[in-house]
Amino acid sequence: MFSKIVLALDGSDPSERVVPVARELAAPGSAQIDIVHVRELIAGRGGGQTLRANEDDLEHRVHGLAKELSDAGYDVHLHVETTVGGGPAQVIAQIAEKTGAEVILIGTRGHAPVAGLLLGSVTQRLLHIAPCPVLAIPPHYTRKPEDAGEAVATAS
Amino acid sequence: MATIVIAADGSEAAHRAAEVGFEAAAAWGDHVLLVTAWDVLRADFGMPVHRIEHDFVNAEKGWAEKVLEDAAAHAAERGLEAETVLVRGEPASQLCRIAKERDARMIVIGTHGWGAVRSLLLGSVTLRVLHHAPCAVLTGPPSPPTPFEAARAEHTATAG
């Protein structure tokens, strides 16, 4: 249904829930999916240490998801951007603006170190600055793409 | 066929979010459920205003009914026959409750409602919905219309 989607993935479990939704949302045919993964660096460290200790694992995961979508026939572009001292939301919004995205998909939460945190800070910030609609997916989301697949098949 | 819950409060932001929601519903063949929540205005000291002036309740409910009617008309303009639900209570909890009961695919809501003060990160109802939603939440395009929206509207007009 959307032919240009931005998918924000931080490599966390909750963020992976958005991948099936991307398939639900993407127009059949060759929808363009821009995956954005932001590497956060800690400011002030000469060597540019990443915020997350397992950053390499996270990126590996994101690459895997990008390949999955690419194999499924979507026109996938993977953007791995670096930001120092925060600003993933800014990066995601800018890429959405640049690519002319029709919707940004993001988990309501990502790496949530605080128990009981219901809405992640990046998502919250993104909703304020996004140049287009944002679809926020909760961590427990389990809908299957088949729900939409049927309707789309009969519609076309 | 799934259900999409669309929040209607008569604001420009809600209208723009609904546009996106209608497009999604049309593409997927989903059922649209328009929801307007209203409640009695309370005076600062907690006293329900209707005890001062009973007409206030009728005015509030009447206004909410009109908002819902307009939203349904908007849906019809987009070729959709929407179901309407008028509920009394706090909007965010009502939206989440209904979305859960109806096993909605998603809730569609504007980023801000009437208090479209851009310095606010998000409208208070939208923020609460994001915290408690049982499903995906689609927040509408930012206001005022972006160049993208203008181009898209133009594209839709020429393509349709």
B43 pLDDT band (50/70/90 cuts)?
low
* Statement: residue A155 has pLDDT above 50: no
Q: Phi and psi (nearest 5°) for A48?
A: 70, 60
Given CB atoms, is B10 within the 8 Å cutoff of chain A?
Answer: no
Residue A149 is classified by DSSP as H
A81 pLDDT band (50/70/90 cuts)?
very high
* Statement: residue A156 has pLDDT above 70: no
Q: Please count the residues of chain A.
A: 156
Q: Which residue of B has its CA nearest to A2?
A: B24
- A53 vs A58: CA distance, rounded Å: 10
Distance of CA A104 to the CA centre of its chain: 7
> If 0-12 CB within 10 Å is exposed, 13-18 middle and 19+ buried, where does residue B1 land?
exposed
Comparing CB atoms, the residue among B29, B133, B148 nearest residue A132 is: B148
- B37 vs B43: CA distance, rounded Å: 19
Q: Do B136 and A141 touch (CB under 8 A)?
A: yes
> If 0-12 CB within 10 Å is exposed, 13-18 middle and 19+ buried, where does residue B44 land?
exposed
- Please name every residue paired with B35 in a beta bridge, in sequence order, or none if there are none: B7, B85
Token representation of residue B3: 């259900």
Q: Residue range A118-135: average pLDDT?
A: 90
Q: What is the pTM of this model?
A: 0.83
> If 0-12 CB within 10 Å is exposed, 13-18 middle and 19+ buried, where does residue B112 land?
buried
* Statement: residue B19 has pLDDT above 60: yes
Q: Chain A: nearest CA to B138, how far in angstroms?
A: 4
Strands in chain B per DSSP E: 3-7, 31-38, 83-88, 106-109, 136-139
Token representation of residue B34: 């328009």
Average model confidence (pLDDT) across chain B = 85
* Chain B residues touching residue A127 (CB < 8 angstroms): 111, 121-122, 126, 130, 139
The pLDDT value recorded for residue A91 is 95
Given CB atoms, is B106 within the 8 Å cutoff of chain A?
Answer: yes
- B152 vs B146: CA distance, rounded Å: 10
The pLDDT value recorded for residue B158 is 58
* Chain B residues touching residue A133 (CB < 8 angstroms): 17, 20, 138-141
- B64 vs B52: CA distance, rounded Å: 20
